[in-house]
């Protein structure tokens, strides 16, 4: 329920009435990394990520609805670290991010992986995603924190 009237995408939504809000943010990425350090325990890669973001914010109230959607390209810097600390166990640092006048995007994962065999691994850890835009058309920031579980296959 809105506490005050809200003007959104050329429509007014009245305060005090039941309102449905939808926030959708999809992210599609492709990353290229270059191994620049290969030590006895640590390995580090640096590269770039091409991110496509697909976002929508929508409000609906008593037959009145408005939606603002946007699809765009976001270039990111990628840093990936792999620390082998015990036999088949590895600590992973995975970062995508960039800050500019249009806004910012920061995605950081801290995980532990277990190598099941030469190809398969399983893992889990913490991931945070923060960012948004502050320009003439949009002001929107979000910060998500979550647990991550992963499984993968290496060729």
Residues 124 and 121: their CA atoms lie apart, in Å, by 10
Largest CA distance in the chain: 63
Under DSSP, the state recorded for 126 is E
User: How many Cα atoms sit within 13 Å of 38 on the Cβ side?
Assistant: 3
Q: Say whether 95 sits in a helix, a strand or coil.
A: strand
pLDDT of 62-81, one tens digit each? 989 999 998 989 999 999 99
The whole-number mean pLDDT for each consecutive block of 10 residues of the chain, a chain of 155 residues, reads 89 92 92 97 97 93 91 94 96 96 92 97 97 81 94 94
pTM (predicted TM-score) = 0.82
Contact 106/143 with Cβ under 8 angstroms?
no
pLDDT of 38-55, one tens digit each? 999 999 999 999 999 898
């Amino acid at each position: 329920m809105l506490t005050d009237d809200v003007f959104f995408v050329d429509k007014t939504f009245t305060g005090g009435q039941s309102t449905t809000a939808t926030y959708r943010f999809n992210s599609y990425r492709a990353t290229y990394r270059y191994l620049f350090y290969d030590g006895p325990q640590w390995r580090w890669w640096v590269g770039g990520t091409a991110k496509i973001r697909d976002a929508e914010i929508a409000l609906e109230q008593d037959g009145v609805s408005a939606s603002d959607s946007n699809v765009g390209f976001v270039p990111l810097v990628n840093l990936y670290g792999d620390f082998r600390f015990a036999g088949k166990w590895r600590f992973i640092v995975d970062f995508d991010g960039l800050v500019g006048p249009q806004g910012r995007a920061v995605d950081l994962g801290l995980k532990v992986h277990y190598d099941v065999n030469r190809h398969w691994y399983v893992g889990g850890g913490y991931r945070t995603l923060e960012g948004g835009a502050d320009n003439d058309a949009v002001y929107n920031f979000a910060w998500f924190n979550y647990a991550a579980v992963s499984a993968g296959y290496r060729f």
